[in-house]
Amino acid sequence: MGNLNEDLAILTTIPAKQLARLGDRAGYCIANAVAEARLQNQDSVEYNIGIGTLCIRLLEQGIQYTFKPSAQVEEDVRAAFQGRTSSLTGLVENVLVDRITNAYKDLI
């Protein structure tokens, strides 16, 4: 299974520990939206999580989750599924070039 926090930490300058903390806070926000929906007698919550919409149905038997990807995520996933180059490849190459360039500049 992949780990989004670890992958993002590699691609950015944000440590995985900080990203995990951010994820915890995101969970609090989603839970708060569910609590507010229950207070208003709503049976579902839709929450934009940046890469798509998390849909939460509040049923008597429990909770049901679905995810609707954003247009960009859906496009990237389709491209990867069809065997074309992943959008991540170009980004990783740019990050690597930037890091090497910065290290070289520091040496000079």
Q: Say if residue 18's pLDDT is above 80.
A: yes
Q: What is the DSSP letter of 12?
A: S
For the segment 15-38, the average pLDDT, to the nearest whole number, is 96
The confidence score (pLDDT) of residue 53 equals 98
Partnered with residue 48 across adjacent β-strands are 53
For the segment 44-70, the average pLDDT, to the nearest whole number, is 96
For the segment 89-102, the average pLDDT, to the nearest whole number, is 78
DSSP assignments along 43-67, one per residue: SEEEEE-SSEEEEEEEETTEEEEEE
The confidence score (pLDDT) of residue 7 equals 85
Q: Say if residue 11's pLDDT is above 90.
A: no
Q: Where are the domains of the chain?
A: 70-108
Q: Say if residue 34's pLDDT is above 90.
A: yes
